[in-house]
Amino acid sequence: MALWGMVIDLDRCTGCESCVLACKAENNVPAVGATEAEKGRVLSWMEVLSERDEENGVTRFIPRPCMHCDDPPCTKVCPVYATYRNPQGIVAQIYGRCIGCRFCMAACPYNAKFFNWYPYQKEAPNQNPDVSLRPKGVVEKCTFCHHRLQKARENAAAEKREVAPGEYNTACAESCPAQAITFGDLSDPTSEVARLAKSPRAFRLEAALGTHPKVIYLTEGEGRG
C-alpha cells in the first residue's frame, strides 16, 4: 500500500509563497480579513515560516504543511475520532464530526492545525467543488490534497488499472516554480520522493519528538550553512 509523503528542498525554496496561494485556491481556504488576521487567526494550511540565521547572515524559509506524522500526537487526543491516520498515512480530518475542543491544536508540535473561529467560509463562485466547505467551530488542516487522490483512484478504477505514479500530486508541489516540493509514494523505492528522502541532506522537523513526520526536508547546501 502506498505511503504518501513529501520532500521539501530548502536549498531550492525562495520563499515566494506560491505554494501557500495554490493551497488556498485548491482547498477553498478562506481569507479571514484584515481584522481577524491581525488577531492571529489566518488560516493557512501551507505556511512559509521564516527564521533568521544570524551566524550566516541569511533568512531561512521553511514551508510547513501538515507533517502527516506516522505517530501523530493530534489523533491520539481527539475525543471523537474526528482526526485519524488513514492506512495510506494521510492524517485526515472529519469536519462533520469535530466538536471543536481544539485539543489536537494544543497537542500538535508543528502548529499545523487551524480553527474556524467565525464562519469564515461562505459559498462563493470559483470554489473547488471537490473540497468540502468547513463550518464555524471546527478544526481544519492540510490533507495532502486528498480529494486529488480520490479523483485519481476513480479515474484509474474506470480504466481498470492502478493509480499511476505522478497521477496524484498536491497543489503546492505542482505550483512551486523552483521545484522545491516533491510529492509521491514513500513506500515505492523507485519513486523520486523515496530517492530524495534517502539523501544525506534529509532531516525531519522536531525528529526527536518521535512523531515520524512524512514531510522530509533537505537542508540547504554548504554555502548556506
SS3 85: strand
Numbers of helices and strands, H then E, in the chain: 7, 10
Give the Å distances, CA to CA, from 136 to 116, 139, 167, 193: 5, 9, 33, 36
Question: Residue with C-alpha cell 544570524?
Answer: 54
How many residues touch other proteins under the rule CB under 8 A: the total is: 46
Among 41, 195, 204, 212, binds other proteins (CB under 8 A): 41
Amino acid at 179: Q
Segment near other proteins (CB under 8 A), from 2-10, 13-21, 96-104, 156-164? 96-104
Select the span of 8-16, 21-29, 143-151, 206-214 touching other proteins (CB under 8 A): 206-214
Of the pair 38, 162, the CB lying nearest other proteins is at: 38
Cell of 154: 476513480
CB 5 within 8 A of CB 184: yes
Instruction: Determine contact, residues 176/8, Cβ cutoff 8 Å.
Output: no
The answer to whether 131 contacts other proteins (rule: CB under 8 A) is: no
Stretch that binds other proteins, among 12-20, 23-31, 100-108, 183-191 (CB under 8 A): 100-108
Window contacting other proteins (CB under 8 A); options: 92-100, 121-129, 153-161, 169-177: 92-100
Instruction: Answer whether 10's CB lies under 8 Å from 205's CB.
Output: no
Of the candidate residues 73, 174, 187, 192, the single one contacting other proteins (CB under 8 A): 73
Residue partners of 113: CB distance under 8 A and separation at least 6: 66, 74, 104, 105, 139, 140, 141
What is the smallest separation between the CB atom of 110 and other proteins, expressed in angstroms? 6
In angstroms, give the least distance from the CB of 130 to other proteins: 24
**119 makes contact with other proteins (CB under 8 A):** yes
**Considering only 9-17, 19-27, 117-125, 180-188, which stretch makes contact with other proteins by CB under 8 A?**
117-125
Q: Whole-angstrom Cα distance, residue 57 to residue 178?
A: 22
The answer to whether 219 contacts other proteins (rule: CB under 8 A) is no
The residues that touch other proteins, with contacts defined as CB under 8 A, are: 36, 39-42, 49-51, 62, 64, 73, 76-82, 97-103, 105-107, 109-111, 114-119, 135-139, 205-206, 209, 211
